[in-house]
Structure 1
Amino acid sequence: MKYATGMDYIKTDSLPHMWCAGCGDGIVVRAIACAFENLGLDPRKIVMVSGIGCWGKADDYFSCNALHTTHGRALAYATGVKSANPELTVVVLMGDGDGTTIGGNHLLHAARRNMDLTAVLVNNYNYGMTGGQASATTPHDAVTSTSVLGNPERSVDVCELAKVAGANYVARETVAQGTRLSKRIQEGIANKGFSLIEVASPCTTLFGPRNKMRQPVDMLRWLKEKGVSESRFDKIEDAASQGYFKVGKFVERHDPDFNTSYEVMRDRLQQKEGK
């Protein structure tokens, strides 16, 4: 039996990667590359659209087209790419600061439009590249550089937001489940409409040490312990207040008319221009 390695989609001359020891970003790169291989995608027809931050550097390691954009605006650029050429596979790479805090409005509207984009949002619970400030996903009471006494705010559930806004595919996994994570990404790319895969990942330099997880393995164990199935989550009393979160597939709709309005408008424009 042949197993996907994903190496045909990775720029080996860019390795080793720039991320901190114990960071989960490398695992996510491999998961995406294996998903590409299992789907048999042509690298020339893939566009990786990234924002700013630790995870925003991920486009450096893929051997396909890349568009490195501004902070919080990756989905806006990706919408333009997909609108200009619907035949492309467009994968958007965002962090929690990039995708939910600064770019939360774009996430909301991308899910609402339900265009055929796949967003892989790596959540390490803080702004890992710029000093470890609190983001929209930082857990309540967690310590960051801007919440030294504990975060007073409630965190945003990214998957629930995408679900309510109308995304066709929504899932969450941690980097501790690499093979299952790759499967979720593969499903998201294959499913027509807007897909969001949130990936809970360690920040071993800033978030972990500030929250009593001094070694990279400590935060990985925390993610593995706290990320539970929906059925198990529902059985735990006050699960959210104890730091548990749901992992798995939450939405999978197969709607053949997901983008009909955009396609109709494109056809009308082409007819008007005599194409």
Structure 2
Amino acid sequence: MTKEDIIKPENLVYQKPRLLNDNPMHYCPGCSHGVVHKLIAEVIDEMGMAEKAVGVSPVGCAVFMYNYLDIDCQEAAHGRAPALATAIKRLWPDRLVFTYQGDGDLACIGTAETIHALNRGENITIIFINNAIYGMTGGQMAPTTLVGMKTSTCPYGRVPEIHGYPLKMTEIAATLEGTAYVTRQSVQSVAAIRKAFECSMQKKGSSLVEIVSTCNSGWKMTPEAANKWMEEHMFPFYPLGDLKDTTENK
């Protein structure tokens, strides 16, 4: 078989997503962010929305999303991505608008912005990366840090009497009137991003896609050990699956 035969469309098994550019990623080896970037790039390309997609990323590990996805992107102040996405979508309702936020940004600094945007039913998608830690700034405890989980700011483990309990933002979002599609998936089983994007384009309301992920650097583990820890500890507390789906009724 010649090289020309191998690259024929009928022989193609897999290729790099067209909208994922060639810039070297700054993420730590084994980080989940690169995987999710790839999935987003594939979905946007499949939908034919490359020219109309607008991603909004705030401060945190996701801040350089614009450097890897070949779509229009806008940076937001810490926690304010849903507010900026709201403005973009209202000004350009034909655009596919989504935010890309970590758990510290979305569930702490941006709690109010997130809840009110979802409750208003803004036709945007919020992609929520939950690795239960502040990854960029030193591995501090986040609102989603599990009870007993050790971080740089709770080195003996999270204690509810001192630090409170982990915040389940996706469960909260499912109770809001403005949300149409709320789901929790993982980097191993994400299959909901396209549905959320389609929901926003069909003006059915807000969508939240939580992606339970790893931060092997912050967790002080190898990538392989981090994936195993995620399965054994994160999944039981943050179970995967759809929490709300009213898209068939709207």
Coarse TM-score class (shorter-chain normalised): 0.7 to 0.9
Alignment CA distance shift 1:5-1:29 (3 Å): farther
Q: Superposition pairs for residues 1-275 of structure 1, below 5 Å?
A: 7-12=17-22, 14=23, 16-41=24-49, 43-152=50-159, 153-166=164-177, 167-177=179-189, 181=190, 183-191=191-199, 192-206=204-218, 208-209=219-220, 214-226=221-233, 243-254=236-247
Query: How far apart, CA to CA, are the structure 2 residues paired with 1:227 and 1:97?
Result: 16
The percent identity for this pair of structures is 30
User: 2:114 and 2:231 mapped to 1: Cα distance?
Assistant: 26
How much does 1:244 deviate? Answer: 3.5
Per the alignment, residue 238 of structure 1 pairs with none
TM-score normalised by structure 1 residue count: 0.79
Amino acid at match of 2:210: E
The two structures have a TM-score, normalised by structure 2, of 0.86
Structure 1 unaligned runs (5+)? 229-242, 258-275
CA-to-aligned-CA distance 1:103-131 (integer Å, 9 cap, x gap): 01111101101111011111111111011
CA contact (8 A) 1:174 1:227 kept: no
Q: Distance in 1 between matches of 2:243 and 2:66?
A: 27
* Cα shift at 1:24: 0.6
Moved over 6 A (4+): 1-4
TM-superposed deviation, 1:6: 6.4
CA deviations over 1:55-100 (Å, ceiling 9, x no partner): 2322321111110111111111111111111111101010001111
Q: 1:222-263 CA deviation, whole Å, 9 max, x = no partner? A: 2234565xxxxxxxxxxxxxx543101121112787xxxxxx
Aligned 8 A contact 1:55 1:122 in 2: no
> What is the CA–CA distance in structure 1 between the aligned matches of 2:168 and 2:13, rounded to whole Å?
33
Matched residue SS, 2:217: coil
Q: CA deviation at 1:143?
A: 0.9
What is residue 263 of structure 1 aligned with on the other side?
Answer: none
Q: State the shift of 1:174 in Å.
A: 1.4
The question of whether the paired residues in 2 share the 8 Å contact of 1:6 and 1:35 is answered with: no
Separation in structure 1 between the aligned mates of residue 230 and residue 166 of structure 2, nearest angstrom = 16
Distance 2:68 2:135 in 1: 19
RMSD over aligned CA atoms reads 1.9
SS of match in other structure, 2:183:
strand
Inter-partner Cα distance in structure 1 for 2:114 and 2:16: 28
Aligned 8 A contact 1:174 1:223 in 2: no
**Structure 2: distance between partners of 1:100 and 1:3:** 39
Distance of aligned partners of 1:79 and 1:256 in 2 relative to their CA distance in 1, 3 Å threshold: farther
On the 8 A contact 1:168/1:193 being kept in 2, the answer is yes
In structure 2, stretches of 5+ residues that fail to align are 1-9
How far apart in 1 are the matches of 2:188 and 2:113? 28
Q: Which amino acid in 2 is paired with 1:155?
A: P
C-alpha separation in 1, matches of 2:112 and 2:14: 36
